[in-house]
Chains A and B, each alone.
Chain A
Amino acid sequence: MSVASDTKASAGEVQTVVAARRLRDSQTVFIGVGRPSTAAILARMVHNPDLVLVYESGTIGAKPFHIPLSIGDGELAETADAVVSVPEMFNYWIGPGRIDMAFLGAAQVDRYANLNSTVIGDYEHPKTRLPGAGGAPEIAASCHEVTVIAPHSKRTFVEKLDFLTTVGHGDGAGARERLGFRGAGPTAVITDLGVLEPDPESKELVLTQIHPDVEPSQVQEATAWELRIARDLERTDPPTDEELAALRELLSR
């Protein structure tokens, strides 16, 4: 089946490609569904064929041909190196910090990459009840590092979370240490406009990379706090023909 790689990459495709690049040197990656899963499968295809995909459902080393709709799709169980129970997944694999990288999404992200997936509005009488914590809090605490993948808008990148579901960098420098977390936490936030990374000292997110055809003002417009922008702001290398063709082929399966 021929795939057109002559049409330009969409913002969503750029986001997925950038996320996949992040997995070049990872041995293991923990993923949920959606863009994170697509990025990890793409990374295995293009950058890192030995990458071990780990899903919350207990499938370690899954090698799906199709992008799974759910974390429990049959193909994940059938292709995995090992299928373990949920208690085992959290107690033996995630908690002790055996996973290199975790991809997490969220409904809201704040300037310290803390995440909300619980409620919009008041907890007792929410305006919108979101799915809840799932595996995120312990994943963010214990995996070696976390990459947050989220759409860039003021609705998502908020001044203050309505609910703190998952700790990123807490209230800034030293927070993770005080909480006794073993993993480094969020080391990047990849959006459809660019990439944010925590300042090495304050841990506040700084825009360090901007995608093709995006202006810094757009990113500021889409962020509810006064966004810090790196002095040496980099431009994302556009997806290569190989990356784009592989992604589109994967999506077409």
Chain B
Amino acid sequence: MAEVTSLSEAAAELVHDGDSVALEGFTHLIPFAAGHELLRQNRRELELIRMTPDLLYDQMIGVGAARKLVFSYGGNPGVGSLHRFRDAIENDWPRPVELEEHSHAGMANRFVAGAAKLPFAVLRGYVGTDLMGRTQVAPITCPFTGEELVAVPALEPDVAIIHAQEADRAGNVQLWGIPGVQKEAVLAAKRSLVTVERIVDELRPQPGGIVLPGWVIDAVAEAPNGSQPSYTLGVTTRDNDFYREWDAISRDREHFTQWMDEHVLSPVA
């Protein structure tokens, strides 16, 4: 049964140096508070998994927490590049980061296979592209029709962390809005942490709501505004201005480092 606890306790218990961690949320419900807590706890050598790295992984890579990145799109949507991600890949700053890249269809299906505890997923994809032969994808033939398809290996992160609108005191979680690949990430991972905007007495069904029963989650922690500058539908709105500002904040190494020290890494009051 999920333990309802503090974010700092949950993060310390569930995430260790060297772990593979998927902090998922496809533009919506990105678990910034949890990611920042990992940085405050000085987590290092992480294999970071996320379909779209977004500003959170730009920050975590820029601080030097990552040894590897598994992803399918590393940009600042509608704004431009992720400068820290680029600096790590182009210049090994602040440290080299190993890359494993896929397409969205591939990553999504890797999570699906992980959630199903199957070793691989099948899809039509990758063929004819230069990713074939450069990443974990293999040709496979349908045993019934003979059609040639591709297989991608399941993702089984050590830890999955997601953010949601609410949980009850038993740790049952409800999220709604753009669901991304969050449910799959939690079900694929060995351990999971869900941060929520609020703990409620009772979960009332929301249109489009997805409920994750507390018995498949390891820990739930209250983290109001825990997805800012991303958003939580019905509670907060996406801070598009900040996403634009991030371009300037993150371009220069020193400016970025100062900003992170001031806004993320200094102890929370």
Contacts and interface: CB of A to CB of B under 8 A. Distances in A.
A149 B222 CA distance: 43
Interface string A88-112: 0111001100000000000000000
A137 B238 CA distance: 28
19 contacts: A58-B180, A69-B78, A70-B27, A70-B77, A71-B77, A72-B230, A73-B27, A74-B237, A89-B108, A90-B108, A95-B105, A95-B125, A129-B89, A132-B71, A133-B102, A134-B52, A134-B104, A137-B103, A142-B124
Given A57-B26, A135-B104, A74 B238 contact: yes
A179 B104 contact: no
Interface in A100-155: 118, 123, 125-138, 141-142
Interface of A: 33-34, 56-59, 68-74, 76-78, 83-87, 89-91, 94-95, 118, 123, 125-138, 141-142, 163-167, 170, 175, 179-180
Given A85-B179, A90-B108, A137-B126, A72 B85 contact: no
A133 B129 contact: yes
Interface of B: 26-28, 51-52, 71-75, 77-79, 81-82, 85-86, 89-90, 101-105, 108-109, 111-112, 123-131, 134, 147-148, 177-181, 183-184, 208, 230-231, 233, 237-238, 240, 243-244
B27 A72 contact: yes
A84 B127 CA distance: 26
Contacts of A138: 103-105, 123-125
Given A165-B130, A180-B124, A83 B184 contact: no
B55 to A, nearest CB: 11
B124 A137 contact: no
A194 B143 CA distance: 47
Contacts of A70: 27, 77-78, 238, 240, 243
Pairs A-B, 7 closest by C-beta atoms: A72-B27, A131-B75, A134-B73, A70-B77, A138-B105, A167-B128, A129-B89
A163 B129 CA distance: 8
A156 to B, nearest CB: 16
A87 B181 contact: yes
A77 B79 contact: no
Given A126-B89, A129-B86, A71 B27 contact: yes
A77 B176 CA distance: 10
Contact of B86 (A83, A128, A163): A128
Nearest to A94: B105
A74 B26 CA distance: 12
Contacts of A132: 71-75, 101
B97 to A, nearest CB: 10
Contact of A74 (B81, B183, B231): B231
B179 A137 contact: no
Contacts of A85: 179-181, 183-184
